[in-house]
């Protein structure tokens, strides 16, 4: 009975992740760019502290600008990796396994990525990018493969361990 009530709620993390991605995509170009720059600057600053290099503010700024683009694209991949996890796990709960799981979750994520890029065409200083859909799809691909590996190889081991512990009590 509990599983029946909780099962539909398993898609809630996916919906929340979609809302988060939509929120980021709703930021105008300047706001989005500033966020990417701030994250890049913080990464350079942390690296500067870890490696104890005496970089001044101008050098920190220059390095932050150099890594800003790859950081931005890595953020795309990470968002869609997490979305794929949040979509694929509930699909597994509903009985999808193997290729059906991989294709269904991946398809949902890619369609959402394309729709999100279309949405950006209505946001100031933003526009749709086929390249970003591709980058998002790579992240989603890694996510669905991670769920597939977990559900196929790790979950059965954990379930068997739990069964054995229950038997031994």
pLDDT computed for residue 81 by the predictor: 98
Confidence label for 63 from pLDDT (cuts 50, 70 and 90):
very high
- What is the mean predicted confidence (pLDDT) over 85-108? 94
Whether the per-residue pLDDT at 137 is higher than 90: the answer is: yes
Which ranges of the chain would DSSP assign to H, the alpha helix? 2-6, 12-26, 29-50, 57-93, 98-120, 130-149, 155-167
Give percent above pLDDT 90 in the chain.
87
pLDDT at 154 over 70: yes
pLDDT of residue 30: 95
Q: Which tens digit of pLDDT belongs to each residue from 6-31?
A: 788 999 999 999 999 999 999 999 99
Residue 7's pLDDT is what?
85
CA distance 101 to 86: 12
| pTM, rounded to two decimals | 0.90
- Distance between CA atoms of residues 57 and 45, nearest Å: 9
Q: What's the mean pLDDT in 112-135? A: 96
In the predicted structure, residue 162 carries a pLDDT above the cut 80? yes
Tokens (6 digits) for 150: 């977990």
């Amino acid at each position: 009975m509990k599983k029946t009530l909780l099962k539909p709620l398993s898609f809630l993390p996916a919906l929340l992740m979609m809302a988060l991605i939509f929120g980021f995509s709703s930021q105008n170009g300047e706001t989005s760019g500033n966020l990417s720059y701030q994250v890049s600057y913080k990464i350079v600053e942390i690296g500067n502290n870890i490696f104890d290099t005496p970089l001044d503010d101008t050098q920190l700024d220059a390095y932050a600008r150099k890594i800003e683009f790859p950081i931005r694209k890595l953020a795309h991949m990470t968002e869609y990796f997490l979305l794929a996890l949040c979509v694929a796990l509930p699909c597994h709960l509903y009985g999808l396994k193997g290729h059906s799981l991989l294709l269904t979750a991946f398809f949902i994520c890619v369609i959402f990525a394309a729709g999100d890029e279309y949405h950006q065409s209505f946001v100031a200083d933003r526009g749709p990018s086929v390249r970003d859909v591709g980058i998002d799809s790579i992240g989603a691909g890694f996510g669905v493969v991670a769920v597939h590996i977990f559900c196929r190889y790790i979950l059965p081991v954990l379930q068997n361990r739990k069964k054995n512990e229950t038997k031994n009590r």
